[in-house]
Amino acid sequence: FPDAIAFTPDGRYLLSADEGEDDLTGGRGFSIWSLTGELVWSDDGQTEQQAAAAGFYPDSEADEKGIEIEGITAGRFGARDFAFALSETGSFMAIYDISNVYAPEFVQILSTGNKPESVKAIPARNLIAVSAEGSNGTISIYEYVAAKEK
């Protein structure tokens, strides 16, 4: 029972924000689906583990909701495709490189306003916007800065 969905930048796959009310995909994270409904990838709790390691895991919600992924979007920045998943109870945005939808790579977690609900990628301006209902309706703007190649 996803709370939000988004297409990958090429429109070939669907991302679902799996809030945590269904354990079909591991719940509490996000999944990638083919357009015919086949599960391509599930984070299988990886986002929750990354949140715990970064100090964002909402312990008071562990039994009921966990990180509660509420919003999701995707965007192409440079030559890479990214997924941006919002945790309502953890108040963070998890970023994954989804250039290979069969093996997404965790990139980082960023703090958001309290209880983020919606996220919008704006690749033409190298921006990601996040709205949060628990911070008096704040909107946070993040700038994409490409990592230097080694």
pTM > 0.75? yes
The pLDDT assigned to 40 comes to: 97
pLDDT at 121 over 90: yes
Query: Of 23, 31, 26, 37, nearest to 4 (Cα)?
Result: 31
| Residue 27 pLDDT grade (very low, low, confident, very high; cuts 50, 70, 90) | low
Express as a percent the part of the chain with pLDDT over 90. 68
Q: Residue 64: exposed, middle, or buried by beta-carbon count in 10 A (0-12, 13-18, 19+)?
A: exposed
| Residue 2 pLDDT grade (very low, low, confident, very high; cuts 50, 70, 90) | confident
| Residue 20 pLDDT grade (very low, low, confident, very high; cuts 50, 70, 90) | low
Q: Which tops the pLDDT comparison, 126 or 149?
A: 126
Q: What is the DSSP code (8-state) at residue 38?
A: -
pLDDT, one tens digit per residue, over 50-96 is: 998 999 887 665 566 678 899 999 999 999 999 999 999 899 999 99
| Residue 26 pLDDT grade (very low, low, confident, very high; cuts 50, 70, 90) | very low
- Bridge pairing between strands 39-42 and 127-132: unpaired
Rounded to 5 degrees, φ, ψ at 41 are: -160, 145
What is the rounded average pLDDT of the residues 5-16?
A: 97
| Cα 1 to Cα 46: distance, rounded to the nearest angstrom | 19
Strand order in the sheet with 116-122: 116-122, 127-132, 138-143
Bridge-partner residues for 129, per DSSP? 120, 141
Query: Residue 81 in contact with residue 9, Cβ under 8 Å?
Result: yes
Distance between start and end Cα atoms, the chain? 41
